[in-house]
Structure 1
Amino acid sequence: MEFLATLFNLAIYQPLYNGLIALYNFIPDLGIAIILLTLLIRIMLISLSKKSIESQKKMQEIQPAIKRLQEKYKNDRAKQSQAIMQLYKEKKINPASGCLPLIIQLVILIALYRVFMAGISFNGDGHLLYSFVKNPGHINHLAFGFIDITKSNLWLALLAAGLQFWQTKMLMTKNEKVQTAKKQLEEKKDSEEPDFSTIMQKQMLYLGPFLTFIFGAKFSAGLPIYWITTTLFMIVQQYWIISKEKTALKAENKSS
């Protein structure tokens, strides 16, 4: 465990900490520094995020086929599992592939929260700073000139929760439209009975924003600022990915 803690500090925490201080040196506003650091992280993770979104969409697309296999082999669990795994193989889907980006983002979120706390409580101690990162000596706790980043902020927490609700709702709506378009290409429509992933997604539509608000309202304002920034980034990214697929589907409909 000590090795993992050391690795976490050296490979994740310290680089992020230095990044935050370097950005603050460039623009002496901790709120803006948090936003810029978040955007840099999201850009670095864009490939993983894209794979995660695409993996979720592919899993949704094959749910009708999975339900048919579950019904076909409902009395034989072994054959059912084998058939589903074969389906994953044929569709080139790794059911666990969507978990890795979430784990990485969780680790980074933990590190970022520690970084935000360290930035807020910075007292001029530069022992964690790299030699090329200037010690600012003092950090102004007012973000954007009017938000005390050392305290919780209900409005920021509410905005973060609202944006997360919008992001989840947008993904659900877009997926439903894409699924409808794809069903038009099929001779036989699948059952309209909601699948497990759809039910879970609908639950997360409300549970996710609720938890975001609770934690955002409890901790310092740096956390909801991070959530707001990363959610806005993901909304733009999701819109771009899904728009590309809709364009491809329209072209497929025209050619059929």
Structure 2
Amino acid sequence: MLWDAWQKHNQPKALATANATQSATPTPTQSAPGTSPDKPAMAPAAVSAAERAKAPRLTVDTDMVHAEVSALGGDIVRLELKKHGANNAPDKPFVLFDDGRVHTYLAQSGLIGAGLPNHKTLFSLSQAKVVLKDGEEAVSVRLQAPEHDGVKITKVLTFHRGSYVIDVGYEIDNGGVSALGGHAYYQLTRDNKEAESTAGFFGGAQTYTGPAFYADAEKYTKISFKEIEKKEAKLPKPASDGWVAMVQHYFVSAYAPKAGQREFFTDELGGGLFTAGVIQPLAVIAAGQKATVSVPLYVGPQEQEKLSALAPGLDRVVDYGRLAIIAEPIFWCLSWLHKLVGNWGWAIIALTVLIKLAFFPLSAASYKSMAKMKTIMPRMKRIQEQYKDDRMKMNQEMMELYKKEKVNPMGGCWPMLIQMPVFIALYWVLLGAVEMRQAPWLGWITDLSLKDPFFVLPIIMGVTSLIQMKLSPSSPDPVQQKVMMFMPIFFTVMMAWFPSGLVLYWVVNNMLSIGQQWYITRMFGGDAKPANS
């Protein structure tokens, strides 16, 4: 964790150059993929904040979101999530898309081709406010592009009740005299600022903020802003499936085309802005014909069931790292327990009990070894005193004693070592699962994703760790004894900054361990009689 923080602190700052060079990968600012270089390119990708500020806007209100749509390109320039509170003001909605008040984070799209509208086109707004009324399942925003050579194009944004999916589409009426072709692009533009952390001192530096891509052939790929800046982005190859997303702690936006060939792109726009997107070819539209294209845009929390239902692999944005093979079953079990008890805190406690039961056979064997260690402790001290001037001889005598009494001096460590991957996987689950965000447990714990505001749980954890240590046989080495006495203090200080849900798990685990250790020591007490001197 210290190494991660050091690297982050010392990494070079993003270059705030206004005239960033284009990336080597196909982008909307270059000719469309599959076209020759002499075919027209679209308008420059960068749109200034001043241009956005001048453009008219309309607002959209549904049961899930409040959005602002700009006439400039029909971009979604602000989006508030009504079901999720702001980090420091839970009574106010969380702002995901933003037009520069805190972040610059936009959903843009357009068409590539002569005279076709892109995200620098000024559309006509038919109304100033759209509201999803009672009884309506969806509401649409229609923006009219300027007519060009008889071609009429309407951009349509459709918002759905109870959903974070917005359908971004175009209705194309080719009233011209020749066939119409081209490409459609969908991009997410964001600054390179980290998302505001809510996970305490250790959590914020470890969560990923930046673009992510998925194609079935190459699976989940994260491409950092730094890689884009250095032109080291390794994008998925053109495919007939896949999506592009912009990921931050707990939340995500993603374009997930349903069908058709697509290419992926990233670009640095300058001024700390970056874009990531996907390009798809349009079917040729004959003169006098009409066509529609549409791509779903997800803008909301990283709720795995909703994400996996929208597109294959989209739930991978909830990134558990290398321990995903352990973390995913843990989250599934935790979710199942939550359905039973109705509270994430109690679900964590129930999960701790289940994990403890699963490790009971191993713990029993280890505690039996520890109980035997207690019985040979007097002989170990005598050996230590007898050979205090000959360390090699003392170690030989100790090993002979362990061998004779069939005691493993490291036996008590195995439960801890084997539980560590589970502990780390649970850490990532509690850190990454948006379900924990602002989820209360009991009394003063109003958010399991934050540290305990009064440090009650860390103190209880430290006390229970001390009791557990006292029940274990002490090492004959005075130095090791001092180190072990220091460990509960160290863990108390460290865990004070961890999410309270994780500390709750460790407190319950300690309490169960104390009871388990007392029970097993009594159970094996008869077998571990003092050895003869």
- Fold shared, TM-score > 0.5 on shorter chain: yes
Between the aligned partners of 1:21 and 1:93, the Cα distance in structure 2 is 41
Aligned to 2:465: 164
TM-score by length of 2: 0.35
**8 Å Cα contact 2:369-2:411 kept in structure 1:** yes
Cα drift, residue 233 of structure 1? 0.5
Cα drift, residue 161 of structure 1? 1.7
Provide, for residues 32-86 of structure 1, a one-character-per-residue CA deviation record: whole Å limited to 9, x for no partner: 1111111100111112222223323333432333344455566766654443322
Aligned to 2:500: 221
Provide, for residues 94-122 of structure 1, a one-character-per-residue CA deviation record: whole Å limited to 9, x for no partner: 23333322211222111111111123x24
Structure 1 unpaired stretches of 5+: 123-137, 177-193
Tell me which structure has the larger Cα radius of gyration.
2
Between the aligned partners of 1:162 and 1:74, the Cα distance in structure 2 is 34
Aligned to 2:476: 195
SS at 2:449 equivalent:
coil
Match of 1:42 among 333, 356, 371: 356
Cα drift, residue 167 of structure 1? 3.0
Between the aligned partners of 2:497 and 2:321, the Cα distance in structure 1 is 28
- What is the alpha-carbon root mean square deviation over aligned residues? 3.3
Provide, for residues 121-143 of structure 1, a one-character-per-residue CA deviation record: whole Å limited to 9, x for no partner: 24xxxxxxxxxxxxxxx976112
Q: Which has the larger displacement, 229-238 or 210-219? A: 210-219
Aligned to 1:151: 450
Correspondence 1:19 to 2:333: yes
Q: 1:77 to 1:150 in 2, by over 3 A?
A: closer
Between the aligned partners of 1:204 and 1:76, the Cα distance in structure 2 is 25
Cα drift, residue 163 of structure 1? 2.3
Match of 2:512 among 216, 229, 233: 233
Between the aligned partners of 1:6 and 1:37, the Cα distance in structure 2 is 21
Letter matched to residue 86 of structure 1:
E
Q: 1:209 to 1:76 in 2, by over 3 A?
A: closer
Letter matched to residue 496 of structure 2:
A
**8 Å Cα contact 2:368-2:521 kept in structure 1:** no
Provide, for residues 203-250 of structure 1, a one-character-per-residue CA deviation record: whole Å limited to 9, x for no partner: 534x2332232122111111220111101101111221233456x49x
Between the aligned partners of 1:64 and 1:157, the Cα distance in structure 2 is 35
Letter matched to residue 239 of structure 1:
W
Q: 1:212 to 1:70 in 2, by over 3 A?
A: closer
Aligned to 2:167: none
Superposed counterparts of 1:14-93, under 5 Å? 14-70=328-384, 80-93=394-407
SS at 2:348 equivalent:
helix
Match of 1:114 among 405, 428, 444: 428
Between the aligned partners of 2:390 and 2:488, the Cα distance in structure 1 is 39
SS at 1:142 equivalent:
coil
Q: 1:79 to 1:234 in 2, by over 3 A?
A: same
**8 Å Cα contact 2:345-2:448 kept in structure 1:** yes
Letter matched to residue 143 of structure 1:
W
Provide, for residues 160-208 of structure 1, a one-character-per-residue CA deviation record: whole Å limited to 9, x for no partner: 2222223334x16xx69xxxxxxxxxxxxxxxxx9327x6346534x23
**8 Å Cα contact 1:32-1:144 kept in structure 2:** no
Between the aligned partners of 2:507 and 2:390, the Cα distance in structure 1 is 47
Letter matched to residue 200 of structure 1:
Q
Aligned to 1:142: 440
Greater share of residues in strand: 2
SS at 1:229 equivalent:
helix
Q: 1:218 to 1:75 in 2, by over 3 A?
A: closer
Greater share of residues in helix: 1
Say how many residue pairs are matched. Answer: 207
Letter matched to residue 345 of structure 2:
G
Identity of aligned residues (%): 33
Superposed counterparts of 1:204-215, under 5 Å? 204-205=484-485, 207-215=486-494
TM-score by length of 1: 0.67
**8 Å Cα contact 1:167-1:231 kept in structure 2:** yes
Correspondence 1:9 to 2:302: no
Higher relative contact order (CA 8 A, sep 6+): 1
Between the aligned partners of 2:415 and 2:341, the Cα distance in structure 1 is 30
Q: 1:160 to 1:38 in 2, by over 3 A?
A: same
SS at 2:411 equivalent:
coil
Letter matched to residue 229 of structure 1:
V
Letter matched to residue 448 of structure 2:
I
Q: 1:54 to 1:107 in 2, by over 3 A?
A: same
**8 Å Cα contact 1:152-1:218 kept in structure 2:** yes
